[in-house]
């Protein structure tokens, strides 16, 4: 990666002398570096481009080339890559579009490209990308034509246009960049490779990712978990809705996993998840340009009541930041140099006629207070307000202060100054959200139930012989038994089955994987309390279900219903989930997710913070028992990662007896 | 009001010749009107200010004065107002601070001011305000020193600084104002008066309110309900959190009602409620400067995939707007003039090399489509993007189109253009939120239970004699009987009370208004099934509660628990509420509120849309029965508006029997 981002000799295949053409912008951008790197335009029909000697092919160049940038039609890319291989060029940036994002033929080309890369150990960025910009080292190997400030933000973006957009915002002169990488189709190099690189890049202070899909789920998870321990990683991901999934497919040719899973992955791995562009940008800006807040207790200093109270409301509504409470001594101290009408509750309102001196006296006092985490200074331009003077003062005080001072000039747009309080408050709240408890890479869990996976496999193979990908209830029961999950027993019955008054009431169920909605299809008969009823209900079932297996279960007392399940995410693999069952499922609308593997203490912690956990507490049910059962299901998923779906719905929990799984479904 | 806002002769008491002083800014602002209104500076120590003849007092002026503006220390205000009365000046703006917002003495002054106003029928704006600006008629009677564009936005603001802030944002040249009014302490004139005025003001297209408190709750509700039928009324209110209530008190000297109630008032009356400044401002801007969207189906046109999908996500997550679905014919039509690689799913991605022509062809096609509600055009500046050309094109096409076209220049700040998609999407979503179903003024409900209020009054008077403001259970039971609410009966018992096997199990409860938490204090004994148990439990109770009344109730089967209650809001009067009871109360966390009076069909509609309603449906309970009981409680509140709190908690609902109130509390 280093060799690519620090290349000393760079060939541009498809170089052009026509202004505005990508092949020309690339040459101009590369030339803008004042250090003398070798730039080699490649074009069979030219002799000189931009004052540089042109070669007809990389094979004609008689010195080493570190990096080749391809800006030629897709149809020529593969043969040029072969030239690069012959010339021993290991690093290639493919700007050209027309690969997996554009239909079957393109996909084929991309597959061949990947094959070439693997066989020859090539670092390929793209195709269908904008290139990269190593801002810290003055290498602009992209066709983004911008002057870019140096700074601590590094961007890894799947979309090129997303980057050009952000570079425009950054023109405010305050925020600067270290590395900017556009990934395009990610045929070879992806976000994981560059996260690895940026982790150690000393110029990178904060990492911003924009993603539309993930290629290597587990790898991404583990890498993010490691990198986010060292630097904040901010992630904006498109693809929360179905429509967007469609749009992304036509845009990059790849599918994203389910979004709730991705969000959970980011949180667990300690990244910061964003859903909109402006909060994302403001957060990058804050992390690059301001000191870190010392603690979560902020002070608002204002010269106007209205904006002050609006900001207070916003902070009070934020989960992760709050307002500093001044004690009486501090208030007396603040009061000394201020008019008596000033309000010293936080927000500190130093009134509409506040001049630079009044702001200065107050800021001086506040920055000395070791207990304050940061200061938001609201400036509402009123008749007597010296806006420039106050902004100048803030710059001056900020330079010496240990805590950040955020200037907000209400409503006015000014470079490097916030325009509305909600911008910065939202960003501060997100930046300071509690990081996943499971920071760092997950260790493999100890092996147990060593023999179970083989036994489960046997069940699946048997089902496959019958062309089934679903377990019957009896098979599912066997599976839960291997993992010590207490499940409601069932016996296969026929017309000769006799009622026994010792067992209490019975349920009859049709048990056939093809009957998916047993109740709705009339395949369940409950409350059978005598031989006569048994005979009658059995007949009724047989009228509808001629040959299907019928099972009998004891009709047990209803407990509190919980759903415990597993789903295989297309990107991140087995995901464990748990939620309230029964009629409350949709109303409480809470799905607690875990990326596997998982420790019992983490399950307990998350359940305690959940609505489900609160219901357990109020209903006097044992949460530890739920943790135990969820953990068992987690093991099923982790040890049998070919299972697509596993659902206990419901599992009954009781105050004074053991919980029991009432229905279990398995798909693979 | 007209005479104030259109005053032809205006006296400024406290006029000054010192630059920067409020008394000077006022004169300069008034002079900036090019029409020749009479401006009369009043100051005993000057002859000429700003080239105008100065008078020592209004009493020395020998012609009619329409409006007096006071910018003098608070201590002189009352005597000057008396001069104004003598001079027959009906309209007074008091800029001066130092009234109810600044402690006891100031409050006293304000009370006297109000008295003077009432006795002499004065229109007083303020005190502690910034004045007003009649932008449409070029009268700047404020000390906000700004050049202000004319347009359709009228602002009514309790905070002066809030207005100066917004005026700064509005410098983008696109949005303009009609009337700007700052209310200050609202001693006499308040938001209701100006809502009434703006309703008929032809220059006002959209009304923005910024409030920190409400003085006349019911009046506000009814006025808003009427005005919002004619013009959109956007309301931003500070005061969502406790801290803010404190800040507001020290800022304007008045208390606000509970915020959830205010929000409900705004929604019911058809206003649009905002919680942050930037959405509020963007919404005003959109309503003033753009055509109304024709329907809720929007199209996104973009030259970059990333920002396109982010916008799509945001729209898909919005409740009140969505994306237009193109049919095959429309897609073919769009495709005609576009390159084949273009994505024609909404968002329409016309690719990174899109030029003005491609934008033009697509926009032409889209604006012809009668089924589209509006268009968001995303411009991400890329190497080949002609930003100015595209913006010019949009202006041109917009002028002729029937639907609004919103230009968003990703990341770049440009006057009159949006910077981020989330800004405009949030605003469009809020603007188009479903208006309260009860638009228009509420009619008084038909009178019924005509005799009940008098009887309830008797109960209260009796309680008062015992120095109680709380009903005993027996009294509460009587009250519910008057309103035909089925409540669990109770008999007062003593040691001689005999157990009867016919009634089933019993509960004993201490019934004393001083015992607020009966269960926690050991005042409830349940499950009494025999004479022996009754005797034992009775003794146990008597050990703790020597003299208190003890009641016995039948222990009934538990039903689904619902809370139905009333609260007197300090501003809006009786508010009816309903929610899930029992252990789910906090977890479901849903309080359904109604401002009284209320119709049964509105209760039904709101309950159907609630979580509680969904539970009723799933549990097979009768929602109509709940509506009936809620309506009865509403009547209690409406007919006995001196009741402070009324709570049925819980009321049991059953599948197959009548609902019953199990515990009832009444405070007054």
Give B371-397 pLDDT, tens digit per residue.
Answer: 999 999 999 888 778 999 999 999 999
CB A221 within 8 A of CB A262: no
How far is it, in rounded angstroms, from Cα B402 to Cα B367? 7
pLDDT of A437 reads 44
- Of the candidates B25, B161, B244, the beta carbon closest to that of A380 is on B161
Stretch (H or E) spanning B390: helix B387-400
pLDDT of A233 reads 95
Q: Which of B18, B309, B381 to mutate to test the interface with A (most CBs of A within 10 A)?
A: B309
pLDDT at B255 over 50: no
A276–B420: do the CB atoms touch at under 8 Å? yes
Pairing verdict, β B348-349 and B297-302: parallel
What confidence tens digit (pLDDT) does each residue in B293-323 have?
A: 999 999 999 998 888 888 988 898 888 999 9
- B249 chain-A contacts, CB cut-off 8 A: none
Tokens of B88: 């027959």
- B341 chain-A contacts, CB cut-off 8 A: 97, 102
Q: With bands split at pLDDT 50, 70 and 90, how would you rate the model's confidence at A73?
A: very high
Q: Which of B587, B590, B614 to mutate to test the interface with A (most CBs of A within 10 A)?
A: B587
A16: helix, strand or coil:
coil
Nearest to A238 by CA among A253, A224, A220, A256: A256
How is residue A609 annotated by DSSP?
T
pLDDT of A245 reads 60
How far is it, in rounded angstroms, from Cα A485 to Cα A216? 33
What confidence tens digit (pLDDT) does each residue in A391-415 have?
A: 999 999 999 999 999 999 987 777 7
- Of the candidates A159, A383, A587, the beta carbon closest to that of B614 is on A587
Q: Where are the beta strands (DSSP E) in B43-90?
A: 48-49, 52-53, 67-70
Nearest to A294 by CA among A267, A274, A321, A318: A321
- Of the candidates A20, A316, A383, the beta carbon closest to that of B22 is on A383
Which residue is listed with tokens 């603007």? Answer: B431
pLDDT of B240 reads 62
Nearest chain B residue to A161 by CA distance is B304
A656: helix, strand or coil:
coil
Q: Which of A143, A156, A165 to mutate to test the interface with B (most CBs of B within 10 A)?
A: A165
- Alpha helices by DSSP H, listed for A336-410, are 356-368, 387-400
pLDDT of A586 reads 87
- A145 chain-B contacts, CB cut-off 8 A: 383
- B427 chain-A contacts, CB cut-off 8 A: none
What confidence tens digit (pLDDT) does each residue in A108-123 have?
A: 999 999 999 999 999 9
- The contacts of residue A224 (CB under 8 Å, 6+ apart) are A195, A233, A265, A266, A269, A270, A271
- B411 chain-A contacts, CB cut-off 8 A: 165-170, 281
Tokens of A66: 């570190």
Tokens of B76: 């002189």
pLDDT at B252 over 80: no
A661: helix, strand or coil:
strand
- B251 chain-A contacts, CB cut-off 8 A: 305, 308-309, 343, 349
Picking from B36-50, B165-179, B187-201, which range would have the lowest pLDDT averaged per residue? B165-179
Q: What is the mean pLDDT of residues B329-338?
A: 91
pLDDT at B416 over 60: yes
How far is it, in rounded angstroms, from Cα A349 to Cα B108? 24
How far is it, in rounded angstroms, from Cα B331 to Cα A420? 40
How far is it, in rounded angstroms, from Cα B7 to Cα B9? 6
How is residue A570 annotated by DSSP?
T
Q: Please list the residues that pair with A508 across neighbouring strands.
A: A525, A552
A169–B588: do the CB atoms touch at under 8 Å? no
pLDDT at B636 over 60: yes
What confidence tens digit (pLDDT) does each residue in A160-214 have?
A: 878 887 887 666 667 889 999 999 999 999 999 999 999 999 999 999 999 988 8
pLDDT of A317 reads 85
pLDDT at A255 over 50: no
- Of the candidates B238, B383, B409, the beta carbon closest to that of A306 is on B238
Tokens of B128: 């502690």
CB B648 within 8 A of CB B633: yes
pLDDT of B249 reads 55
How far is it, in rounded angstroms, from Cα A56 to Cα A42? 6
- Residue B621 backbone dihedrals phi, psi, to 5 degrees: -100, 160
ipTM value: 0.75
Picking from A470-479, B50-59, B248-257, which range would have the lowest pLDDT averaged per residue? B248-257
pLDDT at B574 over 80: yes
A341–B313: do the CB atoms touch at under 8 Å? no
B164–A382: do the CB atoms touch at under 8 Å? yes
How far is it, in rounded angstroms, from Cα B77 to Cα B71? 9
pLDDT at B350 over 60: yes
Q: With bands split at pLDDT 50, 70 and 90, how would you rate the model's confidence at B28?
A: very high
Query: Got the DSSP string for B327-362?
Result: PHHHHHHHHTTS-TT-B-SSSEE--TT--HHHHHHH
Q: Where are the beta strands (DSSP E) in A519-559?
A: 524-528, 550-554
- Of the candidates B306, B420, B619, the beta carbon closest to that of A162 is on B306
Mean predicted lDDT score pLDDT of chain B? 89
pLDDT at A251 over 90: no
pLDDT at B23 over 70: yes
> Cα distance from B304 to chain A (closest Cα, Å)?
5
pLDDT of B243 reads 60
How far is it, in rounded angstroms, from Cα B621 to Cα B627? 12
- Alpha helices by DSSP H, listed for A290-420, are 305-317, 328-335, 356-368, 387-400
How far is it, in rounded angstroms, from Cα A97 to Cα A185? 9
Picking from A22-26, A258-262, B131-135, B280-284, which range would have the lowest pLDDT averaged per residue? A258-262
> Cα distance from A143 to chain B (closest Cα, Å)?
7
> Cα distance from A300 to chain B (closest Cα, Å)?
12
> Cα distance from A230 to chain B (closest Cα, Å)?
28
Q: With bands split at pLDDT 50, 70 and 90, how would you rate the model's confidence at B89?
A: very high
Nearest to B346 by CA among B366, B321, B326: B326
- Of the candidates A169, A341, A412, the beta carbon closest to that of B411 is on A169
Mean predicted lDDT score pLDDT of chain A? 89
- A303 chain-B contacts, CB cut-off 8 A: 161
How far is it, in rounded angstroms, from Cα A497 to Cα B14? 103
Q: Which of A73, A148, A305 to mutate to test the interface with B (most CBs of B within 10 A)?
A: A305
Nearest to A306 by CA among B156, B7, B319, B446: B156
pLDDT at A298 over 50: yes
Q: Which of B183, B210, B242, B244 to mutate to test the interface with A (most CBs of A within 10 A)?
A: B244
Which residue is listed with tokens 């805590």? Answer: A403
Which residue is listed with tokens 């411009």? Answer: B379
A422–B345: do the CB atoms touch at under 8 Å? no
pLDDT at B256 over 60: no
How far is it, in rounded angstroms, from Cα B279 to Cα B262? 19
> Cα distance from A616 to chain B (closest Cα, Å)?
10
How far is it, in rounded angstroms, from Cα A50 to Cα A28? 7
> Cα distance from A466 to chain B (closest Cα, Å)?
38
pLDDT of A572 reads 87
- A242 chain-B contacts, CB cut-off 8 A: 316
How far is it, in rounded angstroms, from Cα A142 to Cα A94? 10
A587–B352: do the CB atoms touch at under 8 Å? no
CB A374 within 8 A of CB A406: yes
- Of the candidates B144, B241, B307, the beta carbon closest to that of A162 is on B307
Q: With bands split at pLDDT 50, 70 and 90, how would you rate the model's confidence at B253?
A: very low
> Cα distance from B588 to chain A (closest Cα, Å)?
6
Q: Which of B20, B142, B247 to mutate to test the interface with A (most CBs of A within 10 A)?
A: B247
Picking from A408-422, A436-450, A641-655, which range would have the lowest pLDDT averaged per residue? A436-450
> Cα distance from B612 to chain A (closest Cα, Å)?
9
- The contacts of residue B508 (CB under 8 Å, 6+ apart) are B493, B524, B525, B528, B534, B537, B538, B541, B550, B551, B552
B165–A380: do the CB atoms touch at under 8 Å? yes
Other Cβ atoms within 10 Å of A333 Cβ, number = 15
B619–A310: do the CB atoms touch at under 8 Å? no
Query: Got the DSSP string for A420-453?
Result: -HHHHHHHHHHHTSPPPTT-SPPPPPPP-STTHH
> Cα distance from B63 to chain A (closest Cα, Å)?
31
Angle (CA) A295 A297 A303, round 5° = 130
For every residue of B255-312, which 3-state class applies, written as one string? CCCCHHHHHHHHHHCCCEEECCHHHHHHHHHHHHHCCCCCCCEEEEEECCHHHHHHHH
> Cα distance from A464 to chain B (closest Cα, Å)?
38
Tell me the percentage of chain B whose pLDDT exceeds 70: 94
Q: What is the mean pLDDT of residues A352-357?
A: 90
More confident residue, B252 or A79: A79
How is residue A202 annotated by DSSP?
T
pLDDT of B437 reads 44
Q: For B599-607, which contacts have Cβ atoms below 8 Å and span 24 or more sequence positions?
A: B599/B438, B599/B445, B600/B627, B600/B628, B600/B631, B602/B437, B602/B438, B603/B627, B603/B630, B603/B631, B603/B634, B605/B437, B607/B578
A306–B252: do the CB atoms touch at under 8 Å? no
What confidence tens digit (pLDDT) does each residue in A642-657 have?
A: 999 999 999 999 999 9
Tell me the percentage of chain A whose pLDDT exceeds 90: 60
Q: What is the mean pLDDT of residues B547-574?
A: 91
More confident residue, B349 or B246: B349
What confidence tens digit (pLDDT) does each residue in B616-627 have?
A: 999 999 999 999
Residue A451 CA, distance from chain mean position: 35
Angle (CA) A544 A548 A550, round 5° = 90
pLDDT at A416 over 80: no
Start-to-end CA distance of chain B, whole Å, equals 39
Tokens of B428: 């469009």
What confidence tens digit (pLDDT) does each residue in A462-497 have?
A: 999 999 999 999 899 999 999 999 999 998 898 888
Tell me the percentage of chain A whose pLDDT exceeds 70: 94
Size of interface A-B (CB pairs under 8 A): 273
pLDDT of B215 reads 82
B619–A583: do the CB atoms touch at under 8 Å? yes
How far is it, in rounded angstroms, from Cα B75 to Cα B98? 8
Q: What is the mean pLDDT of residues B251-257?
A: 47
pLDDT of A240 reads 62
């Amino acid at each position: 990666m280093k060799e690519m981002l620090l290349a000393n000799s760079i060939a541009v295949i498809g170089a052009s002398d026509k202004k505005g053409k990508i092949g020309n912008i690339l040459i101009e951008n590369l030339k803008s570096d004042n250090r003398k790197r070798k730039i080699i335009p490649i074009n069979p029909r030219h002799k000189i481009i931009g004052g540089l000697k042109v070669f007809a092919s990389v094979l004609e160049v008689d010195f080493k080339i570190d990096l080749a940038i391809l800006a030629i039609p897709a149809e020529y890319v593969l043969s040029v890559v072969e030239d690069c291989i012959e010339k021993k060029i290991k690093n290639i940036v493919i700007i050209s579009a027309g690969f997996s994002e554009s239909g079957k033929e393109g996909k084929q080309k991309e597959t061949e490209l990947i094959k070439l890369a693997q066989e020859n150990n090539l670092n390929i960025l793209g195709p269908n990308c904008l290139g990269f910009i190593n801002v810290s080292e003055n290498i602009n190997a992209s066709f983004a034509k911008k002057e870019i400030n140096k700074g601590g933000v590094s961007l890894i973006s799947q979309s090129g246009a997303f980057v050009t957009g952000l570079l425009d915002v950054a023109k405010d002169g305050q925020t600067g960049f270290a590395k900017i990488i556009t990934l395009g189709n990610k045929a070879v190099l992806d976000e994981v490779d560059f996260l690895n690189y940026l982790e150690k890049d000393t110029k990178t202070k904060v990492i911003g990712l924009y993603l539309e899909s993930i290629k290597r789920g587990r790898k991404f998870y583990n890498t993010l978990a490691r990198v986010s321990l060292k630097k904040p990683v901010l992630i904006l991901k498109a693809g929360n809705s179905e429509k967007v999934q469609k749009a992304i497919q036509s845009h990059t040719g790849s599918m994203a996993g389910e979004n709730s899973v991705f969000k959970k992955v980011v949180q667990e791995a300690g990244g910061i998840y964003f859903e909109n562009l402006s909060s994302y940008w403001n957060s990058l800006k804050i992390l690059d340009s301001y000191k870190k807040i010392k603690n979560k207790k902020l002070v608002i200093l204002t010269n106007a009541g209205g904006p002050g109270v609006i900001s207070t409301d916003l902070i009070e509504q934020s989960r992760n930041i709050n307002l500093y409470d001044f004690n009486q001594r501090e208030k007396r101290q603040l009061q000394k140099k201020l008019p008596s009408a000033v309000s010293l509750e936080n927000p500190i309102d130093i009134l509409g006629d506040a001049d630079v001196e009044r702001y200065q006296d107050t800021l001086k006092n506040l920055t000395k207070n070791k207990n304050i985490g940061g200061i938001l200074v609201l400036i509402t331009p009123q008749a007597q307000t010296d806006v420039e003077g106050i902004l100048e003062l803030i710059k001056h005080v900020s330079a010496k202060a240990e805590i950040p001072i955020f200037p907000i000039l209400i409503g006015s747009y000014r470079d490097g100054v916030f325009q509305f309080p909600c911008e910065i408050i939202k960003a501060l709240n997100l930046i300071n959200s509690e990081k996943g408890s499971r920071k760092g890479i997950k260790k493999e869990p100890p092996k147990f139930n060593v023999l179970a996976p083989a036994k489960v496999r046997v069940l699946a193979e048997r089902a496959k012989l019958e062309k089934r990908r679903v377990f019957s209830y009896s098979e599912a029961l066997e599976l839960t038994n291997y993992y010590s999950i207490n499940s409601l027993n069932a016996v296969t019955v026929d017309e000769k089955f006799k009622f026994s008054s010792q067992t209490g009431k019975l349920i009859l169920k049709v048990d056939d994987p093809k009957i998916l909605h047993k109740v709705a299809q009339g395949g369940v008969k409950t409350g059978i309390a005598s031989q006569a009823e048994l005979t009658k209900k059995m007949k009724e079932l047989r009228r509808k279900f001629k040959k299907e297996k019928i099972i009998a279960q004891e009709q047990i007392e209803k407990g509190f219903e919980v759903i415990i399940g597993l789903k295989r995410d297309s990107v991140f693999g087995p995901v464990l989930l748990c939620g309230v069952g029964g009629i409350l499922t949709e109303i409480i609308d809470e799905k607690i997710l875990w990326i596997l593997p998982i420790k019992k203490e983490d399950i307990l912690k998350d359940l305690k913070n959940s609505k489900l956990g609160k219901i357990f507490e109020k209903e006097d049910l044992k949460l530890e028992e739920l943790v135990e059962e969820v953990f068992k299901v987690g093991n099923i998923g982790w040890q049998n990662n070919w299972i697509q779906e596993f659902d206990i719905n419901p599992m009954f929990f009781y105050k004074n007896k053991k919980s029991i799984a009432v229905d279990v479904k398995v798909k693979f």
